[in-house]
Amino acid sequence: MSSPRIQIAVQDQALAVQITSSLNQSDFQLIDEADSTVDTRPDVLITDTAARTDGVRRTETAVLAVGSLETGNVILGDAFSDREITISCQLLGEIVQLKKAQQRATRERLALAQMARTDAVTGLANRHAWDEASKGVVNSGLECLAVAILDLDDFKHANDQQGYRVGDRILKTVGEALASNVREGDLVARIGGDEFGLLLPDLDEAIAATVVERIRSAVETALYDSGFQTTISAGSAAGNSEDLDELFERANADLHTAKRQTPR
């Protein structure tokens, strides 16, 4: 753990001199208020002015109140020893640094969890996230749910002929187009090499096919606009969420039917 970063913002000059003298004898990093060249948020702010604490994020900076200030994490007043000011700064600084370390660890865990559920190429949910979401959908009790599967046509040929970098650009284009053509609350995932799955709540059989065809067409347009002469097929099915496995099988069968049709 590094030495606590201390900022002294004390209007009473006598107190400011005393505090500075005390802390200069210890291993603290004293931060100048005027220094704004780097991230200068201190671990501990020593102040005698209530206004100086405005905007201070207490999860990132502890307030050590001196003089007449009566609000802070620790209140020393205007009569304290070198040892009291030093120990107060050390303890407050260590507490703040521990909190910051915990916050960083939490953010890193969340980032790793997100990475584990995100496809690296497209930025969409991956198969793991799709499977997890599917389990939740089965138990959701939705009476209307559409499942769609989209699959690039002859993607292997394009990938083999033009290389994986072009293949990745194609996949990324598809991912971006899908993400921009669904509603909030819909799930879009890359569930296979060139296969994408959609879970679309509150769509019944009467409109599911129309919506999925609109999405498929938008994706194909995005591919053409990006210079890729690649088509994409889609299959869909709709029904009760409890029958998700059956819906997936029907959507897959519908996809295979589309694949057998005359190339677009």
- Give the end-to-end CA distance of the chain in Å, rounded to a whole number: 63
Q: Decide which of 80, 113, 146 is a domain's last residue.
A: 113
Q: How confident is the model at residue 37 (pLDDT cuts 50, 70, 90)?
A: very low
CB distance 243 to 141 below 8 Å: no
Q: What is the CATH number of the domain that holds 63?
A: 3.40.50.2300
Q: How confident is the model at residue 36 (pLDDT cuts 50, 70, 90)?
A: very low
Whole-number Å distance between alpha carbons of 64 and 120? 46
Answer yes or no: do 89 and 176 share one domain: no
Residue 122 lies in a domain: no
**SS3 state at 118:** strand
* Amino acid in the structure at residue 61: T
- How confident is the model at residue 229, as a pLDDT? 86
- How confident is the model at residue 35, as a pLDDT? 58
Q: What is the pLDDT of residues 152-175, one digit of tens each?
A: 998 887 777 777 788 899 999 999
Q: What is the pLDDT of residues 254-263, one digit of tens each?
A: 999 998 875 5
Give how far Cα 10 sits from Cα of 49, 196, 227, Å: 7, 61, 64
**SS3 state at 20:** helix
DSSP run (H or E) holding 6:
strand 5-9
Whole-number Å distance between alpha carbons of 181 and 173? 12
Answer yes or no: do 106 and 227 share one domain: no
**Of 67, 88, 119, 70, which is closest to residue 23 (Cα–Cα)?**
88
Q: Which two tokens stand for residue 105?
A: 């660890």
Residue 121 lies in a domain: no
- How confident is the model at residue 226, as a pLDDT? 92
pTM: 0.62
CB distance 148 to 214 below 8 Å: no
DSSP run (H or E) holding 138:
helix 127-138
Q: Is 194 a catalytic site residue?
A: yes
Q: What is the pLDDT of residues 93-129, one digit of tens each?
A: 888 888 888 877 777 776 666 667 889 899 999 998 8
Show the domain range for 74.
Answer: 5-113
Q: Is the pLDDT of residue 38 over 60?
A: no
Choose, from 39, 194, 204, 243, the residue flagged as catalytic.
194
Whole-number Å distance between alpha carbons of 7 and 191? 52
With DSSP H G I counted as helix, E B as strand and the rest as coil, what are the percentages for the chain, rounded to 5? 50, 20, 35
Q: Which two tokens stand for residue 170?
A: 């194609």
* DSSP code of residue 158: H
Q: Is the pLDDT of residue 87 over 60?
A: yes
Answer yes or no: do 98 and 198 share one domain: no
The counts of H helices and E strands in the chain are 7, 9
Average pLDDT of 216-238?
Answer: 94
Strands 29-31 and 5-9: parallel
Answer yes or no: do 146 and 249 share one domain: yes
Answer yes or no: do 43 and 146 share one domain: no
Residue 104 lies in a domain: yes
Answer yes or no: do 168 and 105 share one domain: no
Answer yes or no: do 21 and 98 share one domain: yes
**SS3 state at 210:** helix
Site of tokens 């913002």? 9
Q: How confident is the model at residue 151 (pLDDT cuts 50, 70, 90)?
A: very high
> Over the chain, what is the mean pLDDT?
86
Q: Say how many domains are in the chain.
A: 2
- How confident is the model at residue 199, as a pLDDT? 93
Residue 101 C-beta-side C-alpha neighbours within 13 Å: 8
Q: Is the pLDDT of residue 61 over 70?
A: yes
Q: Which residue has the higher pLDDT, 131 or 117?
A: 131
Residue 119 lies in a domain: no
